Each structure stands twice: as structure tokens, then as C-alpha cells.
Amino acid sequence: MDSKYKLIIDSFGKDRFKFNEPLKNHTTSGFGGPARIFFIAFSAKELIKIISMCRQLGLPYFLFGSGSKIMISDLGFDGLIIKNRIKDIQTISVKGKVTKYGIGVQEAAIEAESGLSIKKWVEYLNAQNLEALEFMNLPGTIGGNLFLSKSLQNHAKSIKVLDLRSEIIEIAAENLNPRKHIIISAVFRIKAKK
């Protein structure tokens, strides 16, 4: 094992990694050869740490969400594949109106981590009585979709990303760039159901 990979493996513990993991098991297409090393990030801290370490050590890595849009060669990937499973979601503020009937919620700000599936996102919004219709039927995760989905982008108030200097910054959706940014989480403004 390359000593640089050993540094990463030792820092997380060997039991957190899989070796020669078939990527066909993680892509919607069902294609993909083995990943030399495979890691699942369960917290933002882990995701930031492992990507920052790969960059510092100059090791090839690739991050994916649910694998619905990626095509991986049968030859696999000679580096570290990171699966994003950071999926916390919370309501951080609500805007409402006080009437004689009580307080009616009009809009909420929801923070979602990038590995949250769109399915769980929609379930959460429905449970909070917030508009979810335009997000339904999208496959994948918040992180994979933010680069593509106009619906998600239009609702994004701010997006927390890891930039190329491995610093965490907050940006607007229009400044998002797949070559420059790893999405950690985003805050969305969502209207209440009528």
C-alpha cells in the first residue's frame, strides 16, 4: 500500500475502508469496475477531512452522491472513491404571520446536507407542510442535483462549499462550479403549502 494512502487509512481506521470495491454496486447504471479504496463519509467533518487530506497528499479521489449520473469504466478507479452519506436536515427559521387564528407559517429556511437523498428531502418538506411538488421525481442527492436542478438552485439561499484551497465558504447558486466546489450543505427557502 502506497504510504500516502496509509496516512489516510490510519487517520480514519482501516475498518472504515473497502479495498477493490466493485463500483457497479454503487451506480444506478450497474456499471463500474473496482475502486482501489472506497470510503463512506457519514459527517461533514469526515468529508472535509478526507478530501483535504487527498488534496494535500496529491492523491486522486472522486466524490459521488447516489451514483445516478456517473459512468465508471470497467477498469475501475485507481484512487479513493468517496460516497457522500452526510444527510442531516433541519429547519433553521420560519417566517409567519400572526392572525386571529394563530401564527401561520408562510416560509421556512431549511438546511440540508449534500448527501441527503431527494426522496428524504421531499418527505421532510411534506412532513413540515412545505411545498415539495417541484422536487418530486428527481433522482439522487441534494449535492448531485444542485449543479443541475434549476428548482433547487432557485430556492437556495446560500450554499456551503469546500473550495480549491480546502476552505469552507458560502456562495450563491449562480457561483457554483463543479470544477471548483465540493458541496457540503445548503440553506433553502421553501414556501408553506397553501
Ligand X SMILES: Cc1cc2nc3c(=O)[nH]c(=O)nc-3n(C[C@H](O)[C@H](O)[C@H](O)COP(=O)(O)OP(=O)(O)OC[C@H]3O[C@@H](n4cnc5c(N)ncnc54)[C@H](O)[C@@H]3O)c2cc1C
Residues that bind ligand X (CB under 6 A): 63-70, 84, 114, 138-141, 143-145, 148-149, 178, 182-183
Q: How far apart are CA 12 and CA 38, in angstroms?
A: 12
**Shortest CB 21 distance to ligand X, Å:** 15
**Shortest CB 114 distance to ligand X, Å:** 4
> What are the grid coordinates assigned to 183, written together?
458541496
Closer residue to ligand X, CB minimum distance, 64 or 124? 64
**Shortest CB 126 distance to ligand X, Å:** 19
**Shortest CB 164 distance to ligand X, Å:** 12
Structural contact between residues 166 and 55, judged by C-beta atoms closer than 8 angstroms: yes
Closer residue to ligand X, CB minimum distance, 38 or 64? 64
| Radius of gyration of the chain, Cα coordinates, nearest whole angstrom | 19
Distances (CA, A) of 157 to 128, 160, 167: 19, 10, 20
**Shortest CB 133 distance to ligand X, Å:** 13
Closer residue to ligand X, CB minimum distance, 90 or 93? 90
Residue among 165, 158, 164 at smallest CA distance from 185: 158
Closer residue to ligand X, CB minimum distance, 114 or 125? 114
Closer residue to ligand X, CB minimum distance, 95 or 178? 178
Q: How far apart are CA 114 and CA 89, in angstroms?
A: 10
Residues 6+ apart with CB under 8 A from 186: 111, 112, 114, 142, 146, 152, 156, 157, 158, 159, 160
